[in-house]
Structure 1
Amino acid sequence: MIANLVLLALPLVATYLLTTLWHRRFRQFANFPQLKPSFLWGHLKVIHEYTLRGPPRIHHDTVFAEMAKELGNPPLMFCDLRPASYPMVVVTSHEVAEQISRVSKLFPWSTPKSPTLGDLVQLIGPESILVRKNEDWKQLRKRFNPGFAPQHLMTLLPCILDKTDIFIKHLDRYANLGDEFPLLKLTINLTFDIIGAITMNVDFNAQHSESSNQGEFIRLYDQLVSLYRGDENLPWWMYPRREWHRHRLSGKIDRQLEAMIQAHAEQQQQQQNGKAKPRDVLSLSLQGGDQLTARLLAETRDQLKTFLFAGHDTTGILLAWLFYELSRSPHVLQAVRDELDELFGPDPDPAAVREKLLAPNGDELIQRMTYTTAVIKEILRLYPPAGTARMSPPNSGCTVRTPDGQSFCLDGAIIYNCATIIQRDRTVFGDTANDFVPERWLGDKAGIMSAGAQDEDVEPRGGDAGDRKSIPPGAWRPFERGPRNCIGQDLATIEVRVIVAVVARAFDFVKVGLGELDLDEKGQPVVNEKGQYRTKSEMYNVSGPGEEAARVKRSSGC
């Protein structure tokens, strides 16, 4: 009897499952622009096919850009990632992206962060500011804001310069030897040293010349981060062994951080003598707590993990791209050096620049690095080093309108504001949308690059007719925008300006391998029609760590 009932039920269950799958694949988001999905794999198969068409390890943003191009570049595009993940809407228009990131009646703190952030739990911790919501998030952000105020950040110049001095010693050594070296590894170690000192007042010695002599914390951290890079960034249940390794490494890092926090808390209690309260992230996290409870310890630990991760990797990538673009753009490099000559004097020696930066008006000199700031902003436009995703819960009624007047309900889908596509929009940036043109930002009235503070359109100078029209603030969003923009954006841009001021006139970088210069028969670089040196191949963003090499030599001006 039971067996007969089961046999009768099986066709009904199968019909229900097939009908449900059919609805979700071909009906639920049918009104969205999208490529044809597979019945079983949604758009996972399509994404894989487009990935195979590109060069090795091509970044998924580039894949999305090619898919959107196939569709005629709609303002948003649907990608069904089920069963591996949630369905996703890739936003390619700055007008739609602004609706996602801004405050609304539905979402007073902007559209909530995506639950896929949970995939980073071993890296950032369950109490991270990134995953906190609503008033809980607001109070945490308010606690840390003083540590990232521009006035306070300028007091950190000695620390940034001390760490940059170590970076320069490495460049000197490679210049003497003439050896190839991984520039990205050097820049990431530099920025990790800086963020460690600024957030925790701890010297992690990340820039030690021998990785085997680095501290245990750095070695553990590198191993953990490496498990989040590459092509295996799929759900944990598809790679249980990888997830176990993440959990094990994260636990060891947690124990080391907790020991540092406890030592700092004890020291802080002993030094409460009326002095100005410190503004490093560790001290700010502990303020207001009479004792170090288990809850406060866990919360502080996870904020440190978050800031260490977010504050070094992205800035290191920014620096690597910046030095690469300067190496193949002679007119831009000369303009940067001319500006530095004007501000810091003709002596390019790093010690002379350091002295100027530490003088009473050093912070004013940084603010006056107008062209260098435009270079940084253009690098971040072309190569945004980070991304973020949101999600509107089912039945919330989160609806956006596209520039052509269509409405789309985004409930239940990951919402990905794809900065790589948005910031290369030809309707905004004209025919030079894919070109390195720092001059387009010389009319930027925002000055220091707090993305959320840009309330006026930019009136750019230079470029083609598409560049001469005003650039909407929302069309530049490497730090995202709205109340949940990146808290550390001013730290990153101050860091980079200081490093450029010290390094750009002292050294010339030469790319080796992918992206290297194409020399003529006399061994000289050839300038193309865009004013850049011709290269043998094009550089591109990859999923995972970059492995390309560079050489460095002292500038002839030194």
Structure 2
Amino acid sequence: MSLILPCLLIILLLFIVSFWKIMKNILKYRKYDDLLPGPPAHPIFGNTKTFSNKTTEEIFQALRDLFSEAVEKGQSLIRHRILGTFYVWPLDGKTVSKILESTTELDKGGPYEFFNDWLGGGTLLEGYGERWRSHRKMLTPTFHFAKLEGYFEVFNTESRVVVDCLDKFAKSGETVDLFPFFKRCTLDTICKTAMGAKVDAQLQNSHPYITAIEQALQLGVLYAMNPHHQIPAIYWALGHQKKKDEYFNIMKTFTRNVIAERRTARESGEVEKETSKRNMNFLDILLSNEESSVLSPEDLRQEVDTFMFAGHDTTTTSVSWVCWNLAHHPDIQQNVYEEIVSVFGEDPNEDVTTEGIKKLEYTERMLKESKRICPTVPAVLRQLISDMEIGGVLIPAGANVAIAPMAIHKNANIYQNPDIFDPDRFLPEETAKRHAYDFIPFSAGLRNCIGQKFAQLNEKVMVIHLLKNFKIEPMGGYYSTKQVFEPVGKPSNGIPVRLVRRL
């Protein structure tokens, strides 16, 4: 009983400290509610009502509605505020170029702090500086094109496994949700290529690591969009902190086990230690730097977690939306299939090669159009260190500026009839009409996606194997599954389709 009063006082103190920080930011940013274009904002709560108590699917749609309305008014950017957190959204490539081309404003946005205990020291979330530069330089050889070619054996093998797993649904005619199958396939691919680890997630109906990531990402967005979640005492009382800790622990335990397995194999001589970084996989490069004390064990874990998450989740989502778009556009699916067969032949077991992929011009345009209409990463944030003029408007320090494909790729002033799926938007003569940053599926500038070539090749091999084996038919209207506003824009209701064997 004697401990109750001190505990209550501590909770009250935490509440006051959190609330004071919020109020200070409200006073700082509220004046910009009228200076920058955007939806009407409450003096205290800002635009909190627009997003609170909504699912991540509903948040995505609410943002899209705001963007469309702003574009119709001829605005090049909009703002919204959630209590003391201020967001600015450039709506076209020219406007976003100021932040993309900056060599100083490279820090990730404040809302990413939610993930610090998981990915905080990795190159994805690390603040720009010497540590980030050295880690990025260290990892770059992993994605050299000569190294990527060596991954094709795994790309082909794991793609065949997912085809085998899906074949029973083609035989039975049952509806199948492709999304979880692709999740397990890309996780196995990442583990084999980058980590030298055999996980065999495709042979399991579910995997705790995959489930934990899905739940943690959802928690992170709801945390950012619901201000009361940001008060530690309330977050703990609602049980969200316990869930967050559980998910982070599952993910970190999985990657630590992968690291330990590879470390043991290197130390025992089971795996020969390479001396050339060109011949090392991602994890071996990290382990060699740990051995020379360049990286601490926690540094290593954070980088592995970063690549494991980003490498499998983004590719899964991208391939999923490709299949959904092709299922709803059978004429385009047929054109892609015919081009694939013209290059690789009809034999479904033939390997996909880098030389063949280079010849797939129509398929390449289709993949770009899928990333335009359903961007894999809806938005990334930069938190300004100093005031910056963007689109002729002064944006205050501390504001979160969004690099948002979900806004730019659907801008009707850039892409006529933006909801129509048309690969010919990416014919050379059409691309030449647009700003270089009107299409940024992998961001751009100094903090662009380091693994984009890996992801694109993995995706192409998967799509080629899938289409050589199956015709994909939708089992639901196009908008029966929608993008969610999470770090990776997965489909809200999966990818329910019917598969028809081609041969």
TM-score, normalization: structure 2?
A: 0.84
Q: Which one has a larger percent helix, Structure 1 or Structure 2? A: 2
- Are 1:432 and 2:430 matched, yes or no? no
Q: Which of 473, 482, 486 matches 1:540?
A: 482
5+ residue gaps, structure 2, are 1-19
More displaced 10-residue stretch of structure 1: 68-77 or 489-498 = 68-77
- Are 1:223 and 2:205 matched, yes or no? no
- Are 1:156 and 2:151 matched, yes or no? yes
More displaced 10-residue stretch of structure 1: 24-33 or 143-152 = 24-33
- Are 1:124 and 2:119 matched, yes or no? yes
The residue number in structure 1 matching 2:249 is 251
Q: Quick check: which has more Rg, 1 or 2?
A: 1
- Are 1:177 and 2:149 matched, yes or no? no
- Are 1:368 and 2:359 matched, yes or no? yes
Alignment of 1:72-221 (within 5 A): 72-83=73-84, 86-104=85-103, 107=104, 110-211=105-206, 218-221=207-210
Alignment of 1:382-401 (within 5 A): 382-386=373-377, 387-393=379-385, 396-400=386-390
- Is the contact between residue 90 and residue 418 of structure 1 (CA under 8 Å) also seen in structure 2? yes
- Is the contact between residue 106 and residue 127 of structure 2 (CA under 8 Å) also seen in structure 1? no
Shift in Å, 1:239: 2.7
Alignment of 1:125-524 (within 5 A): 125-211=120-206, 218-229=207-218, 232-234=222-224, 235-236=229-230, 237=232, 238-240=234-236, 241-269=239-267, 270=269, 276-277=276-277, 278-290=279-291, 296-345=296-345, 347=346, 349-351=347-349, 353-354=350-351, 357=352, 362-386=353-377, 387-393=379-385, 396-400=386-390, 402=391, 406-429=392-415, 431-443=416-428, 459-460=429-430, 470-515=433-478
Q: Which amino acid aligns with 1:368?
A: K
Deviations 1:126-184 (A, max 9, x none): 44542242222111111111111222112101101111111001221111122222211
Cα 1:112–1:25 shift into 2, 3 Å: closer
Q: Secondary structure at the match of 2:355?
A: helix
- Is the contact between residue 378 and residue 438 of structure 1 (CA under 8 Å) also seen in structure 2? yes
Shift in Å, 1:43: 0.8
More displaced 10-residue stretch of structure 1: 229-238 or 135-144 = 229-238
The residue number in structure 2 matching 1:551 is 497
- Counterparts of 2:24 and 2:157 in 1: how far apart (Å)? 61
- Counterparts of 1:187 and 1:26 in 2: how far apart (Å)? 44
Deviations 1:72-128 (A, max 9, x none): 251111111115xx2111221211211101134xx1xx4321132111124424445
Shift in Å, 1:493: 0.9
More displaced 10-residue stretch of structure 1: 370-379 or 537-546 = 537-546
Deviations 1:189-220 (A, max 9, x none): 21111112222111222212533xxxxxx314
Shift in Å, 1:283: 0.9
- Counterparts of 1:330 and 1:224 in 2: how far apart (Å)? 33
Q: Which amino acid aligns with 2:397?
A: D
5+ residue gaps, structure 1, are 1-15, 212-217, 444-458, 461-466, 516-536
Cα 1:421–1:129 shift into 2, 3 Å: closer
Q: Which of 47, 50, 60 matches 1:43?
A: 47
Q: After the TM superposition, which parts of structure 1 deviate over 4 Å for at least 4 consecutive aligned residues?
A: 16-26, 271-277
Q: Secondary structure at the match of 2:441?
A: coil
The residue number in structure 2 matching 1:452 is none
* Cα RMSD for the two superposed structures: 2.9
- Counterparts of 2:74 and 2:443 in 1: how far apart (Å)? 21
Q: Secondary structure at the match of 1:415?
A: strand
Deviations 1:456-499 (A, max 9, x none): xxx22xxxxxx8x6122200111100010011111111111111
- Counterparts of 1:225 and 1:116 in 2: how far apart (Å)? 17
Q: Which amino acid aligns with 1:67?
A: L
Q: Secondary structure at the match of 1:426?
A: coil
TM-score, normalization: structure 1?
A: 0.76
Q: Which amino acid aligns with 1:261?
A: I
